[in-house]
Structure 1
Amino acid sequence: MKKVFLAIAYLIIAASLYAASSFYFNYDFCHMMVKEDGPLENLTALVLLLISVLFAVRLFKQYGDRNKLWVAMSVVVAAGAFFGFGEEISWGQRIFSIQTGEFFSQHNFQGETNLHNLEVGGVNLNKLIFSTGLVVVFGAYFALVLLLYKKWSFFTRTIDLWGIPVPKIRYSIIIMLCTGVVLLIPERRIWELWEAIFVSVLLLVFLDPYNSKEELLP
């Protein structure tokens, strides 16, 4: 099963890169892939749901054998991935044809029931939290965690105590190269494509981390 999920993650990354490059020779295909409720947005949601389920299953199986910090981190990741899944599909609003409430109609610039498109008091939450905030956090995660894990014993103990999967160097290289490719594409919705790559690389890390004790599927 682990090999199947790894293969799926690599296929999504490859499909996303092909969709990005198609901007220059088949724009209609590129636009179809990155459109609202398009294939890549749906794949992003499904990968996030898969990550949430895998963390929840591992938590259930190992709950009695691990420390409280490990349990807390597993809960946070499982809940965070599920939150991301819900946000991607606007909590089923379009699937079940649910009408947008008054608050979200007024403050969500897409008129949807989700938090990442909210603008409150002139502050764009998507840009502040879901773009800038996550870029800083995960930029540091992919750029620094492996180096610090190898070189700083206190950092190593802390990571092991919390059970945080450490990305192998190849996954850091993949996300950086893919980000560079995406930045070259002048398509307005290209970040839908990057999100599919990003969650797929996270799945790779969680399935095959440097600290193999934290593999989702040993």
Structure 2
Amino acid sequence: MITLERVMYVFVFIVAVIGVVSSNTNLTWYEGFYVKEDGIVEWLTVIGLLVGAIACFYRAKILKPFRAPLFIVCTIFLGLIFLFGVGEEISWGQRIFNIQSSEFFLKNNSQGETNLHNLVIGETRINKLVFGTILGILVGTYFLILPVLYRKVSKIKNLIDKMAIPLPKNFHIVAYLILVGLTELIAGGKKGEILEFGGVWIFVLMLFSPLNRAIFSRKSFER
């Protein structure tokens, strides 16, 4: 692991530990400043998402001559997912440019903002269902099950490699589990902001050194 990666992992956990300590000693500061909308943690999350998007688009560009169309399309799609995350985090620039929400979002968004993750349909909170329960299942499958299947089932390995899905190493899995454990120590109701920040950065750092790193390296191709 290169020095910059080590520094970034230390930084991620420093931010998380500050969240744990401050939430238990000064909850008002934690919720009203540290993890508030447009606060420090949210913008650090946005930066992570932007880095992930740029990395995917750059990777698609340099690997286009060497990889099948499916590989490139999936890489670009992952970059677009990162960009979607950026848009959702900043409510698609609404607060930055002081744009008024439409009537639909004023009525159906729990914060009256132009984003999907705070929508409330009937009594169903999209944030809790999609970005909580469903995303939690997907993250658990991704970190705990796919790496095992990748190592043991050749058909799954080939499919994952063809679809350009970067997989976590054991180190990334441990890092994420530690992050989850830390967020459980946070007082109050704003644990998700720290988990979101840390999860984004762990995934982005994993992009640069995944379990299946060889498929993303030009050095592995015959010319």
TM-score clears 0.5: yes
Match of 1:19 in 2: 19
Distance 2:204 2:14 in 1: 14
Tell me which moved more, 4-13 or 116-125: 4-13
Q: Deviations for 1:98-140, whole angstroms, at most 9, x for unmatched residues?
A: 1111111111010001011011233221112111111111111
Tell me which moved more, 175-184 or 97-106: 175-184
**Which ranges in structure 2 are unaligned for 5 or more consecutive residues?**
none
Distance 1:23 1:121 in 2: 32
Distance 1:102 1:9, change over 3 A: farther
**Equivalences, count:** 217
Q: CA RMSD in A?
A: 2.0
Distance 1:52 1:62 in 2: 15
- Tell me, what secondary structure is at the counterpart of 2:118? coil
Match of 1:155 in 2: 156
Distance 1:108 1:145 in 2: 34
TM-score by length of structure 2 reads 0.89
Distance 2:24 2:111 in 1: 28
Distance 2:70 2:6 in 1: 27
- How far the C-alpha of 1:6 sits from its partner, in A, is 5.8
- Does the 8 Å CA contact 2:63/2:218 hold for their aligned counterparts? no
Tell me which moved more, 69-78 or 28-37: 28-37
Letter in 1 for 2:177: M
Match of 1:50 in 2: 51
Matches within 5 A, 1:197-208: 197-208=198-209
**Which ranges in structure 1 are unaligned for 5 or more consecutive residues?**
none
- How far the C-alpha of 1:60 sits from its partner, in A, is 1.5
Question: Structure 1 vs Structure 2: percent identity of aligned residues?
Answer: 33
